[in-house]
Amino acid sequence: MRYLCAGLERLGGLSPLPDDPRVTRHARHLLVLRFDPQAFGGRTRQEFLGALTAEGITPVSPGYIGLHQTPAVQQEVQARFGVDTRQLHLPCTERAAGETVWISQNAFLGDQEDMQDILAAVEKIKRAWTA
């Protein structure tokens, strides 16, 4: 995964979340990336995910929505505190949820050549959308 993260950093537009230097081992089940639409010609994250899938990079997803937007949390907060979370504006949460791209652990079961395939797909998409 370090090879892939270093390659993505070089390409730009997809930034892996930073590691905590105190953590010496990690059993990653996802690679969480921050998507910058400007680096991809202003295209949306959803367009990018579709293009990655079309290039054979799967499974990928947009990740979570903000917890305040999930029905279970909305119902519980309403029942306990009488607050309608649908009316909340949580800009940091909404921004984080709107910028993430997840690549699932299945993509990391291969070797360095498979990681290079992911990098090649990202580079191809970026080149096509910024030309």
Give all domains of the chain, ordered by start, each with its CATH number. 2-64+100-130 (3.90.1150.10)
Whether 77 shows a pLDDT value over 90: the answer reads yes
Q: Starting at the earlier edge strand, list the strands of the sheet with 30-35.
A: 14-16, 30-35, 100-104, 60-61
Q: What is the pLDDT of residue 83?
A: 92
Q: What is the pLDDT of residue 88?
A: 87
Q: What is the pTM of this model?
A: 0.86
Q: What is the pLDDT of residue 29?
A: 85
Q: What is the pLDDT of residue 100?
A: 95
Cα 58 to chain centroid distance, Å, stands at 13
pLDDT in tens, 84-121: 988 888 999 999 999 999 999 888 888 999 999 999 99
Residue 102 corresponds to which tokens in the numbers above? 């997840």
CA-to-CA distance for 14 and 35, rounded, in angstroms? 5
Query: Mean pLDDT throughout 41-60?
Result: 96
